Amino acid sequence: MLVTRRNLVVAGGLGAFAMAAAGAAGAADAPPAEGTPGAPPNLNMPSAASAGTIEKTNIQLVKEFCKAWGDDPPDAEQLVNHYLADDCLVRFGETVDPVTGHEPAIALFQTFLNNGERYDLKILETFARGPLVVNSRIDSTVKGKRTTNPTKVFGVFVVKNGKIKEWSDYV
């Protein structure tokens, strides 16, 4: 992969975002220290194994969502209703205004799908920290048997209650 200043800035920004989100999640979810007056016993803390299971489940959801863009034909309503939270936020890049909610997300997806195209989202690398899933992809347009416009993309997803609550792509 060609290392450019832009790639380094994007990767650094995503890394900082992931670390901040993981730190904030950890701080917000941390129980009072044992031995602190009034602190409940530490019986219901999720184990490292259960945290790993949640992250694997979140990664699998995002992988399935990315794969569904390649269905022939992709269905905008099914993509939104099956994978996205009711109050989802979708941002297709820095130059596209974000949309919030199912109906606006369906309308946005249809602008990409109404011309008979589908998309091959080839995931190169994925990691998760709690509800945050980040992937590096090559997204290509597919029309008939022809694949064009391969584009390097970083996707940032926030998963809550088994649905994608936020999705932002960075090119």
Q: Where do the domains of the chain lie, and which CATH numbers do they carry? A: 49-170 (3.10.450.50)
**Residue 28: pLDDT band with limits 50, 70, 90:** very low
* Mean pLDDT, the chain, integer: 82
Cα angle 99-71-141, degrees, rounded to a multiple of 5: 70
pLDDT: is 148 or 18 the higher one? 148
Across residues 14-24, what is the average pLDDT?
A: 50
Model pTM? 0.72
Asked if 123 contacts 45 with a C-beta cutoff of 8 angstroms, the reply is: no
**AA identity, residue 56:** K
pLDDT at 70: 93
Structure confidence by residue, pLDDT tens digits, 78-103: 999 999 999 999 999 888 899 999 99
Q: What is the DSSP letter of 41?
A: P
pLDDT of residue 96: 86
pLDDT band at 47 (very low <50, low <70, confident <90, very high): low
